[in-house]
Structure 1
Amino acid sequence: MLIILTFFFCHWYLSIFTQTFFLHRYAAHQMFVMSPRWEKFFYILTFIGQGSSFLSPRAYGIMHRLHHAYADTEDDPHSPSYAKGLLDMMWKTRIFYNDILNNRDHIEPKFKKGVPNWAFMEWLGDRWPVRLAWGTAYTLVYIFYAPSAWWFALLPVHYLMGPIHGAIINWYAHRYGYVNFPVNDTARNLLPVDFLMMGESYHNNHHKFGGRANFGGFRWHEFDPTYPIIRLLNRLRIIRLKVNNDLKYM
């Protein structure tokens, strides 16, 4: 049981870290810069962390920029206000994402400026044989170490980890939670203490200060677990926080 729990939580937190750090704060918002070599390192880390549910940093970055520009309107790629339910929103998001991924979109060039694009890793991560190989690896871990069949119910979460993390925020953080700041959309802070999403659930804070690297910190209980890692990587000169990145809130 301990092995399965450790495996599940390691996968959960590595996946959400790569999503919030690399796809969200770097690819979409460019809150910091890094060298081409480190960019490739974090591409590979994202590929390992998300595995079968690998999300293209390029497509994610473009789509998320559109979300901020058109939040809770018909042009929002994933608004609960324009979906019949959670699964309907996820399906529409998938279609929108695939159009960007396969260059079938008609999105303005300004939304595509500066997004990372390692063509080989984008191609590799999206291959179905690769996704199936990751899924097979997860399944084998459970075959060897799950103490009972009930534990296999966790496998779908492994298979779809990236989209699940996105859906939690894009659906629930636009419907439930508390508000620190008035914004022109329905973004809310989903969790008072974000122990699950590494800062992502402070969605209202983020929509108010879209370029701020620290998603938490406005109330005593708001701690963004990703931010100290960003500060450490900045100190180690692996990344460089931009000067205009609301440094007064550090």
Structure 2
Amino acid sequence: MTAILIFLCVHWFFSLFFHTFFLHRYASHQMYTTSKFWERFFYFSTWFFQGSSYLIPRAYGVMHRMHHVYSDTEHDPHSPHFFKDVWSMMVRTRQIYNDHVEGKAKVDPEFTQEPLPIWEKMDKFGDNNITRLVWVGLYIAFYAVFAPSAWWFLLLPIHFLMGPIQGAVVNWCGHKYGYRNFDNGDESKNTSPWGILLMGELFQNNHHKHGNHPNFAKKWFEIDPTYPIMKVMHWVGIIKLKPVPVISKH
């Protein structure tokens, strides 16, 4: 049982970290710069920890930029206010994501003006059904060895769909439940203390107000666990945080 819980926590939080650190704060918002070596390292790590639910950074980045521009309007790729439940939102989001991956979607140039990380060989390998099935097999094998009973196998879908589940939780809860520090003209909310447990991702109201600030926490009682890690990486020279605008107190 202990091995299963450790595996679940490691998979959840490392997948979530690279989701927010690389896909969100780098691919989408370019909050920091880094060398090509470290970009590839983070790219690979995102694939490794997302596993079977790997999301291609360039497609994620374009969709997220659209989300900010069209937040909670009919053009938003994943606003919860246009779906009856989270499952229908996930299905529609996946369809839009697939269109971007396959080049079927017409993309406004404003969403590709800032650089998007691209590693075609990694994407071809990671976004491959055979590769995904290998990950699924490895997850099942781990549970077969360490699960104390069959009931534990019910956790496997979380591993299979880790990236989309995390994205769905953030997009659904972060635009429906919680409190607002700022009037952004949309429905974004801060959901604390879950904002802490989601590595800062559920401080959506703060983030939509200050989209390029790497610290998603704004009040004294809000904590964004990803930001201190980014500060340490900045201090040791792995990344270079970009200067951030002065935050209004209103």
**TM-score surpassing 0.5?**
yes
User: What are the residue-to-residue correspondences of 1:208-227 with 2, within 5 Å?
Assistant: 208-216=209-217, 218-227=218-227
CA contact (8 A) 1:175 1:186 kept: yes
Which residue of structure 1 lines up, in the alignment, with residue 145 of structure 2?
A: 144
Contact 1:193 1:223 in 2 (8 A): no
Q: How many residues align?
A: 248
Q: Distance in 2 between matches of 1:225 and 1:62?
A: 25
Corresponding residue number in structure 2 for 1:184: 185
CA contact (8 A) 1:31 1:245 kept: no
Q: In the alignment, what sits opposite 1:239?
A: 239
Task: Give percent identity, aligned residues only.
Answer: 50
- The change in CA–CA distance for 1:245 and 1:128 in structure 2 (over 3 A counts) is farther
Q: Which amino acid aligns with 2:216?
A: F
Counterpart in 2 of 1:79?
Answer: 79
RMSD of Structure 2 on Structure 1 (CA): 1.5
Partner of residue 116, structure 1? 117
Deviation at 1:174, TM superposition (A): 0.8
User: 1:179 Cα deviation (Å)?
Assistant: 1.0
How far is the alpha carbon of 1:84 from its aligned partner? Answer: 2.4
Q: Is the 8 A contact 1:193 1:222 kept in 2?
A: no
Give the letter aligned to residue 229 of structure 1.
I
- What corresponds to 2:206 in structure 1? 205
CA displacement at 1:191 relative to structure 2: 2.0
Are 1:29 and 2:34 an aligned pair? no
Contact 2:15 2:49 in 1 (8 A): yes
Is the 1:213–1:245 Cα contact (8 Å) retained in structure 2? no
Offset, 1:81? 1.5
SS at match of 2:195: coil
Whole-angstrom distance in 2 between the partners of 1:195 and 1:51: 23
Equivalent positions of 1:33-52 (< 5 A) are 33-52=33-52
Whole-angstrom distance in 1 between the partners of 2:202 and 2:224: 9
Letter in 1 for 2:9: F
SS at match of 1:221: coil
Gaps of 5+ in 2: none
Could you state the TM-score of these two structures normalised by the residue count of structure 2? 0.96
Give how far 1:236 is off.
Answer: 1.1
Aligned to 1:165: 166
**TM-score, length-scaled by structure 1:** 0.96
